[in-house]
């Protein structure tokens, strides 16, 4: 079992998409920094070779106030950051 713990606020990927003047979406610098932070923390906790097998994972997120993120979008951001 691989266990990763992120002790910082998780971002929802869909909330960080910004449309430019040509109508195309791109990710904010805030989300790009978040992805880099996820990768850094994951690699510092899991020093073994990355697996190429299918994996199952569980996300447990705690919120300090009444605002909650969409659970599907939280996982999408983490998965995308860890892929590749």
Q: What is the tens place of the pLDDT at every residue in 50-64?
A: 777 777 777 777 777
pLDDT score recorded for residue 69:
65
∠ CA 13-24-69, nearest 5°, is: 15
CA 42 to the chain's CA centroid: 11
Q: How many CA atoms lie within 13 A of 27 on its CB side?
A: 15
- Rounded Cα distance, 78 and 25, in Å: 19
- Stated pTM of the model: 0.70
pLDDT score recorded for residue 40:
86
- Rounded Cα distance, 41 and 68, in Å: 23
User: Is residue 67's pLDDT more than 70?
Assistant: no
pLDDT score recorded for residue 16:
73
Q: How many CA atoms lie within 13 A of 65 on its CB side?
A: 2
Query: Beta strands 25-27 and 17-19: pairing type?
Result: antiparallel
């Amino acid at each position: 079992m691989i266990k990763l713990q992120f002790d910082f606020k998780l971002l929802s990927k869909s909330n960080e998409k910004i449309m430019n003047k040509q109508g195309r979406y791109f990710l904010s610098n805030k989300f790009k920094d978040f992805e880099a932070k996820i990768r850094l923390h994951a690699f510092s906790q899991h020093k073994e070779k990355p697996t190429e097998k299918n994996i199952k994972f569980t996300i447990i997120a705690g919120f300090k106030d009444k605002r909650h993120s969409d659970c599907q979008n939280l996982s999408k951001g983490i998965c995308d950051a860890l892929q590749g």
